[in-house]
Amino acid sequence: MRQSILIVDDEPDNLQTLKTLLKVGRYKVYTACDGASCITRVKTIKIDLVLLDVIMPGMPTLEILEKLSNTPVMLVTVLRPSDIQDKGLTQKNVVDYIQKPYDVDDLLMRIEKFFNAGPQPNQRNI
């Protein structure tokens, strides 16, 4: 069975680009444009990994992460690692972060690595 990925971003172009990129692979891809939609999707669909844009209007990222506490999350952000830590965004379910602008090959490699290894606390890149 294909793994499912939920992409959460408030920019439609970012959603479409990532969706197109990941659907070409072996992933079942869903999208959400805000925190509330993200939470609803995770409650109604089995999601294996969430790619979450850190800077979005509405629900604070920390609140989204707390509500997704049992779902692995990769942060997609312009923030530096120290900024991620300063904002408290290193929850146990945050398995990695992808810095924008991201390299497509690096993004795909990190997602594949996550699915091949599974979420291991000692393999977090944060």
Number of domains forming the structure of the chain: 1
pLDDT value for 118: 57
pTM, 2 dp: 0.88
Q: Are strands 94-99 and 4-8 parallel, antiparallel or unpaired?
A: unpaired
Q: Residue 35 sits in a domain of what CATH number?
A: 3.40.50.2300
Q: Domain containing 29: what range?
A: 4-123
Helices vs. strands in the chain: H and E counts, helices first: 5, 5
Half-sphere exposure of 6 (CA within 13 A, CB side): 24
pLDDT value for 112: 92
Task: Determine the Cα–Cα distance for residues 58 and 3; give it in Å rounded to an integer.
Answer: 28
List the pLDDT tens digit at each of the 126 positions of the chain: 689 999 999 999 999 999 999 987 789 999 999 999 999 999 999 999 999 999 888 899 989 999 999 999 999 988 887 777 777 677 889 999 899 898 999 999 999 999 998 544 434 444
Both tokens assigned to 119: 């979420």
Say if residues 21 and 76 touch (Cβ distance below 8 Å).
no
Calculate helix-pair angle for 12-24, 104-117, nearest 10 degrees: 60
